[in-house]
Structure 1
Amino acid sequence: MKRIVSAVLSVLFVFAYSIPVKAEKNAKIKVSAEAYVLYCADNGQIISSKDENKKMKPASTTKIMTSLLALEEASSRNKKVKFSEKMIAEGSSMYLKVGEVVTLKDLAAGMMMASGNDAANSAALTISGSTEKFADKMNKRAKQIGMKNTHFVTPSGLDDDNHYSTAYDMALLMSYALENEDFAKLTSQKSATVEFIEPSSKKTTYSNHNRLLSLYEYCIGGKTGYTMSAGRCLVSAAKKDGLTLICVTLNDRNDWNDHISLYNYGFEQYSCYTSDDTSFFADVSCVGGESDSITVTGEKPVSIVVSSDDKDKIERKIYLDSFLYSPVKQGDNVGRIEYTINGKMIEENKLVAVDSVNSKKENKNIFTMIKDLFTYG
Structure 2
Amino acid sequence: MKKMKLAIILITLVILAVAAGLGRHYVTRQTAAEPAPDVSAAQAILVDGKTGKVLYEKNADEKAYPASTTKIMTALLVLETLEKYDSPIDQKVAVPKEAVGVEGSSLYLKEGEKISLQDLLYGLMLRSGNDAAVALSIIAAGNTDLFVQQMNDKAVKLHCKNTHFVNPNGLFDENHYTTVRDMSIIAREAMTHKAFRTIVAAKSWDADREESEFNHFYNKNKTVHQFKGGNGIKIGFTKASGRTLVASSERNGKELICVVMSAPNWFQDAYILMEYGFKRLEE
TM-score (norm 2): 0.82
Residue type matched to 1:97 in 2?
K
Q: 2:180 aligns with which of 144, 155, 167?
A: 167
Deviations 1:69-123 (A, max 9, x none): 2223334224532223311210001121223111222211111110000000000
Aligned to 1:147: 160
Aligned to 2:93: 81
Q: Which runs of 5+ in 1 are unaligned?
A: 1-22, 272-307, 309-377
Deviations 1:230-283 (A, max 9, x none): 000000111111111110000111011111111111111213xxxxxxxxxxxx
Task: State the secondary structure of the residue aligned to 1:122.
Answer: helix
1:68 equivalent in alignment to 2:76 = yes
Using the TM superposition, give the Cα deviation of residue 134 of structure 1 relative to its aligned residue in structure 2, in angstroms.
Answer: 0.3
Aligned-residue Cα RMSD (Å) equals: 1.8
Task: State the secondary structure of the residue aligned to 1:263.
Answer: helix
Which structure has more relative contact order (CA 8 Å, sep 6+)? It is 2
Residue type matched to 2:71 in 1?
K
Q: How does 1:240-279 map to 2 (within 5 A)?
A: 240-271=251-282
Aligned to 1:39: 47
* Over 3 Å off, 4+ runs: 199-203
Q: Which runs of 5+ in 2 are unaligned?
A: 1-32
Give the Cα–Cα distance (whole angstroms) in 1 for the partners of residues 174 and 260 of structure 2. Answer: 20
Task: State the secondary structure of the residue aligned to 1:187.
Answer: helix
Aligned to 2:64: 56
Residue type matched to 1:206 in 2?
F
Residue type matched to 2:36 in 1?
K
Aligned residues of 1:71 and 1:108 also touching (Cα < 8 A): no
Give the Cα–Cα distance (whole angstroms) in 1 for the partners of residues 38 and 124 of structure 2. Answer: 31
Give the Cα–Cα distance (whole angstroms) in 1 for the partners of residues 135 and 94 of structure 2. Answer: 9
Using the TM superposition, give the Cα deviation of residue 200 of structure 1 relative to its aligned residue in structure 2, in angstroms.
Answer: 9.1
Using the TM superposition, give the Cα deviation of residue 43 of structure 1 relative to its aligned residue in structure 2, in angstroms.
Answer: 2.1
Q: How does 1:1-20 map to 2 (within 5 A)?
A: none
Aligned to 2:246: 235
Aligned to 1:188: 201
Aligned pairs, how many?
246
Pair member with larger Rg? 1
Task: State the secondary structure of the residue aligned to 1:106.
Answer: helix
Deviations 1:342-374 (A, max 9, x none): xxxxxxxxxxxxxxxxxxxxxxxxxxxxxxxxx
Q: How does 1:260-299 map to 2 (within 5 A)?
A: 260-271=271-282
Using the TM superposition, give the Cα deviation of residue 38 of structure 1 relative to its aligned residue in structure 2, in angstroms.
Answer: 0.7
Give the Cα–Cα distance (whole angstroms) in 1 for the partners of residues 165 and 193 of structure 2. Answer: 21
- Structure with bigger helix share is 2
Aligned residues of 2:96 and 2:138 also touching (Cα < 8 A): no
TM-score (norm 1): 0.62
Aligned to 1:98: 111
Deviations 1:284-316 (A, max 9, x none): xxxxxxxxxxxxxxxxxxxxxxxx1xxxxxxxx
Task: State the secondary structure of the residue aligned to 2:215.
Answer: strand
Deviations 1:171-201 (A, max 9, x none): 11111111000001111000112113xx498
> Identity percentage over the alignment?
37
